[in-house]
Structure 1
């Protein structure tokens, strides 16, 4: 479309759109954001908006749709959720004062990872933007990974170096679950990473060009953000890849947000070894933050432990659950703090009451920094500051070293509180559009302008009364509209009584409207005061936001301390409500739990009795518990509860047990349940074996491994062979604590054959053909599989289960040595699975020269071998 044929406004639109071809441009026109052409077609479809047209200087009308300015966040949120980016094009000057075309420009590009609006964010979940940079160094792949939550200012980074880098990157993505990922071209070589992102996340992926990672650009970006000595101050070696990931993230924010980068004051460098390793499979199986089926919070560990009062605390609790500690001293510091809060009932109650009045300091600060905070939100920050002295006092009163440390980190922020209280009215408006936010006595000019306005309205009432009396027109009234300003309205029946000093401005159906010199003078005085007052309030409010933004470091440090106190107090409250005990955590290899319970299931079964069980695991003679028993008896629940108890202890929470001694585990691995991965073309058995392979490759002697029914996806002999081989490998080569549930009763003989294996079973009470699950784990192997009884409990027709019993009795009676317990001869199994090859076949294979065979000769040779085997 030739530019000279379009209207000036559309010409301006095309110039802006050319710079943002991949975003939907929200183009501000008055009280609406308008979209045109392809953007309009997309938005009308995705947002179900009415599509209209606009004359823009061509015969063909431009497709157009729009959304109200005051409610645009709702529409942007829906587009972001569908994977689009939105460029906000704002009017950069007051249309009433503009000469010619109003200046417009993009003030921000909203993407999934850069959202700061509270209406578009989950209050209990961080919204991470991720940046990954990988490169081969000295023959090995390394990666720098950075995660930043723009809404809170949190930024964390680590460098990964592993034999298999893909799984290490996936583990970090699973730990933080970013909503947007910036990748370098090199990451495309890691098919497992790209497949994981595509299949298991809803993250928007942005491929950054190699030019974004040039050394000079990285150096300039990091120095500009963190100062000239950034590398030494942040502890980055010369060949570290983390700065490349951080710089790419910062440059992306500069491109999209235009300003506000000062919110990221520092980057916390963490090491993978600081936290317990939890694979994506383990996180899903243990249902830490969302259930496997409904992806809900209810029914998860997060749901059970969330007794927090603040949004900041909710987000931190989720982060702690996702990242359990492996340092016993750090864990015990948290546990001691929880113990102090647990015993100090009054102080804890007062602390939680004060916390319940705390607003989201982290995200409020970000909105203030970006200049998008409302007067009401700033007042909320002031109200929060008023609670800080009480929070600090109650935390310090409880006595634990960590609580005292956190109390010291809380800045009372009294100066900010006073600044806000002195500036804003007690109940400020939701927006600054119509003014009314600045309190009386703060600024003399504001007070003076308000007196003029209020006095002006009094003058209007007096003038109206005076004119009625002078003209004898009883229904004369003074009104106002934006077109004519103030006017005198007289009904048609009294127009003859209108004096000559009135100048007619507008004729109505039922009357006439007039102005007078006196009214016009009053109008100028009032309207001038109103416009000046609005402008002055905006200026004073902007100054307030600037003053608060200057204290961002104090606010950020205080917010983090308050969030930690909230989580610790929540742990104490959960322990009190759910009858938890303080675990003993150390660096030993021992996990001993007395009367342990499943933290989630016991809450789901409120009113029903949950049967507790003991557990003893170490890296010696109790390194593997081989658990047998029927389905539905509670094997999976028992194994999961031990994993959850270990995880709860290592995040600093009390645990559901009578007592617990937890030697720190560096990782939890699970292989529970069976499911096909049809999208990847994998059967149940392939998925199972892939997960087992990952466990055997990555588990260490300090890990906790949970294996449920290994080998059931294939034939009986194959399955038993694999199961035994896995047990032998774990015991002999890894030596970690393992819970292994199986239906293969033949495997129970391994207790005598393999050091460290102990048999346990889930007790069952049997009366005739009826069984009762006692849910109690006891030493020794199960005496039966109870498969038919379980089928009966599941609702199989009585005729079917009766027939099954008859068939079973026939099979047992016809089996040789049917009165003896079955013990599998593994030498027989090996011979069965690996039959000897006839010597004649071997000899022929040795003698043949494959390279000289023609295709026809090769086919004949194969036919000859087949005949030889058949004769055998």
Structure 2
């Protein structure tokens, strides 16, 4: 028997159809577009605003921080709505992307006023696919990453769609996840792609986007990459036999083809990197050394990059940031960089000349991104022409020098002369701005000539009609609604010729048209439409030509950026008196007169106290650094690490002399911080970072440890610190700076032959501590903690009480606590002793009281003197007792 009742699904479908029919056309159009992008916020152009509706409106109002309103679209009632003014779109887009949202932008494709405006989604933006310079920090890259898992290997690929940088690598071994975490710390991707089937966890990154697993198939990915680059083999790219790396790179290309296909044209090459080429830096080390962000400021101020960044271009600033973030281990490349910097340091006039030329380069990388996407204007092409001329001037300047390294570097720029010639022939700038140069497009020239004839006719029409009609007040005018017209005031209406056709009545008279005027207007409008089309065609032709040569232009842009970065390193070295370090493949680390680059730069006219460091080679393997708080231990540790890092980016270093055996990794465990959202206490974070160092450091590493074990009980912390120190000495054998307040550890130099004691010097004068900031041989004699507490503003009565405890035997506090829990009189069988609060047995205060009592000559003591002495002792005792309470 057949069920004649309609199904629930069919009833729901008919209900939705009826609801859709009741909606206004623009609402139906919006819902149709929204259905195509269900996982994105749809910004729908409506006049002068980009509107979001329904749940999208609530999200936009919350995360873009704008007002939530509502609007009626027919009989279905009002819906939530949030609008962004079109001129402020980038400002609010930045907020939405920073919150991790995907945004689809629906633009108006037809002119308003003739029925429903045609709309379509023209751009889809995600946090990792932003190419608009207005949405990006000028001096930082914005990376889209992809992670692929293939057997026991991890593939990592990344791209900056605003500059065309595209790279991949493959990670293997037991520490592959730790290496992945280091790469994430270096790249800080805004978005990361993984397969939908991935169930593990990744290091902290931006938004996590899941794709269908087949996008990560190595064979499919390899074919996609071969098609993209138009090659038969990926061997020249270095990843043909790296399936995990191929899978990650292919997933990125697939994602870009889905979200914004025009961006794919910017990917002109793929670089395969080897993790062993770079110095390993984990997230904690990058944070502790403040490489690119100051801990206090959150920006570059107070960081190493903030001192180094004397670049002239945004792309040079990004290149310098990459240099600081990616120290390398290639001795040949490092010496090549040093040679380049050394020549610029020795030639200030050349540095100044290069800086003046570089100012004209602009941001060629991101300019190319706009042009390749098809959003470039004639002004952008003019800027490109100027940038190419700047590059030619830079190449000429370097070739004209007598220094072989500079001439070799000049030859690496490549040539874009053919493109520069094309742009020179295509674009001209005059008082009206940038426009197509005459001769580049003959059809356009013909139309412009024709329209000039029509404009001359219109320009003389007013005078001719005045003379013909005798109406001296007659005027020729134009508006968008009625076009061209002849306007005659009321007193002269009786004098109009019969061929004048009334078009519009205005307050002061009438407006007319003539067949001759309408014919001229038709010719003018048709010519303007053809001119617009021809200009668009010329612009598209230029875009194709530039896109075809985009690989060469991007190569040139990166060459300029590298030159700018090296020039900045030379400028810093000359400004602060840095020297060229000696680099070698050994375990030696010798620094004479080393200085902290950031601290020195902030001291203005005050001198920085330099210090030496000798590790490895003929010196000790571990320096055990002791001394007072605020004495400069952390500064000393950090400056050694920063000097090594600067040397391994090819820079000069802040020292009188430096001899550095290359390191494979730099580890830093400094300061105290917790991870409360992750459920990790300060001490747990400290132990995690320490464990990472002990498990990953090698003989070629540099380890910086500060106050290991201070986050727990004294005995536990001392035991942990000693065990860590012994493991670094006996098993790891890395060059290590180990700062501690556990003075007990200084005795280990008798047991561990490759450990040496040094201390930061301080002296005490008139009860005050004076920090000398000098690192001297031998252990510290005390920590001066109470003096530092006084400097911090600790109340004097608290500091005085602390000094009283400090002058007592080590167990005085514990003994006093235990005695306070006992009865005042001992057991009957033992000696009876009344304890004096504040005067523990054997303390200096108790001994002083005993000496005074024994010194009294009771036979000569008058009653008055005895009472005065007792009164003094009672006052002392009462003050001690009150302080305990």
Q: TM-score, normalised by structure 2?
A: 0.85
- SS of structure 1 residue aligned to 2:243: coil
Any conservation in 2 of the 1:409–1:557 contact (CA below 8 Å)? no
Any conservation in 2 of the 1:379–1:428 contact (CA below 8 Å)? no
Any conservation in 1 of the 2:378–2:435 contact (CA below 8 Å)? yes
Q: Residue 403 of structure 1: CA displacement?
A: 3.3
Q: Residue 264 of structure 1: CA displacement?
A: 1.2
- SS of structure 2 residue aligned to 1:188: coil
Aligned-partner Cα distance in 2 for 1:634–1:763: 9
- SS of structure 2 residue aligned to 1:294: coil
CA RMSD in angstroms, aligned pairs only: 2.7
- SS of structure 1 residue aligned to 2:428: coil
Deviations 1:785-809 (A, max 9, x none): 2111112222223333333333333
Aligned-partner Cα distance in 1 for 2:593–2:53: 66
Any conservation in 1 of the 2:809–2:843 contact (CA below 8 Å)? no
Aligned-partner Cα distance in 2 for 1:484–1:437: 29
Aligned length: 800
With over 3 angstroms needed to count, the CA separation of the structure-2 counterparts of 1:627 and 1:186, relative to structure 1, is farther
Select the residue among 616, 619, 634 that pairs with 1:618: 616
Aligned: 1:204 with 2:194: no
Partner of 2:867: none
Q: Residue 621 of structure 1: CA displacement?
A: 5.0
Range with greater deviation from structure 2 (799-808 or 284-293): 799-808
Aligned-partner Cα distance in 2 for 1:114–1:144: 20
Aligned-partner Cα distance in 1 for 2:87–2:661: 56
With over 3 angstroms needed to count, the CA separation of the structure-2 counterparts of 1:42 and 1:690, relative to structure 1, is closer
Any conservation in 1 of the 2:262–2:372 contact (CA below 8 Å)? no
Select the residue among 433, 458, 461 that pairs with 1:460: 458
Partner of 2:133: 118
Partner of 2:829: none
Partner of 2:590: 592
Partner of 1:78: 95
Q: Map 1:246-645; keep pairs closer than 5 Å.
A: 246-398=249-401, 402-426=405-429, 437-618=435-616, 621-645=619-643
With over 3 angstroms needed to count, the CA separation of the structure-2 counterparts of 1:453 and 1:51, relative to structure 1, is farther
Partner of 1:652: 650
Partner of 1:22: 39
Partner of 2:200: 189
Any conservation in 2 of the 1:223–1:230 contact (CA below 8 Å)? yes
Aligned: 1:157 with 2:199: no
Partner of 1:853: none
Range with greater deviation from structure 2 (223-232 or 76-85): 223-232
Aligned-partner Cα distance in 1 for 2:382–2:725: 62
Q: Residue 352 of structure 1: CA displacement?
A: 2.1
Any conservation in 2 of the 1:337–1:401 contact (CA below 8 Å)? no
Any conservation in 1 of the 2:218–2:246 contact (CA below 8 Å)? no
Q: Residue 445 of structure 1: CA displacement?
A: 3.5
Any conservation in 2 of the 1:395–1:565 contact (CA below 8 Å)? no
Question: Which structure's CA Rg is the greater one?
Answer: 2
Deviations 1:591-630 (A, max 9, x none): 1001000000011111111100011011665110001101
Deviations 1:120-178 (A, max 9, x none): 1112111110000114x2xxx32100011111111111111132443222111111111
Aligned-partner Cα distance in 2 for 1:345–1:53: 63
Aligned-partner Cα distance in 2 for 1:157–1:323: 15
Q: Residue 14 of structure 1: CA displacement?
A: 2.9
- SS of structure 1 residue aligned to 2:782: coil
Any conservation in 2 of the 1:593–1:660 contact (CA below 8 Å)? yes
Any conservation in 2 of the 1:367–1:373 contact (CA below 8 Å)? yes
Aligned: 1:146 with 2:161: no
Structure 1: 5+ residue runs without aligned partners?
431-435, 820-872
Aligned-partner Cα distance in 2 for 1:442–1:534: 15
Any conservation in 2 of the 1:635–1:741 contact (CA below 8 Å)? yes
Any conservation in 1 of the 2:500–2:512 contact (CA below 8 Å)? yes
Q: Residue 759 of structure 1: CA displacement?
A: 0.4
Aligned-partner Cα distance in 2 for 1:781–1:802: 26
Select the residue among 179, 190, 200 that pairs with 1:168: 179
Any conservation in 2 of the 1:620–1:756 contact (CA below 8 Å)? no
Aligned-partner Cα distance in 1 for 2:329–2:420: 39
Range with greater deviation from structure 2 (43-52 or 479-488): 43-52
- SS of structure 2 residue aligned to 1:260: helix
Any conservation in 2 of the 1:385–1:417 contact (CA below 8 Å)? yes
Any conservation in 1 of the 2:238–2:271 contact (CA below 8 Å)? no
Select the residue among 703, 723, 726 that pairs with 2:724: 726
Deviations 1:525-571 (A, max 9, x none): 22222222122111111111111111112112212222211111111
Any conservation in 1 of the 2:240–2:246 contact (CA below 8 Å)? no
Q: Residue 456 of structure 1: CA displacement?
A: 3.3
With over 3 angstroms needed to count, the CA separation of the structure-2 counterparts of 1:812 and 1:280, relative to structure 1, is closer
- SS of structure 2 residue aligned to 1:426: strand
Aligned-partner Cα distance in 2 for 1:491–1:50: 50
With over 3 angstroms needed to count, the CA separation of the structure-2 counterparts of 1:519 and 1:61, relative to structure 1, is farther
Range with greater deviation from structure 2 (43-52 or 234-243): 43-52
Structure 2: 5+ residue runs without aligned partners?
1-15, 813-839, 845-885
- SS of structure 1 residue aligned to 2:298: coil
Q: Residue 508 of structure 1: CA displacement?
A: 2.7
Select the residue among 180, 184, 188 that pairs with 2:191: 180
Aligned-partner Cα distance in 1 for 2:67–2:774: 63
Q: Residue 494 of structure 1: CA displacement?
A: 3.9
Q: Residue 88 of structure 1: CA displacement?
A: 2.7
With over 3 angstroms needed to count, the CA separation of the structure-2 counterparts of 1:78 and 1:784, relative to structure 1, is closer
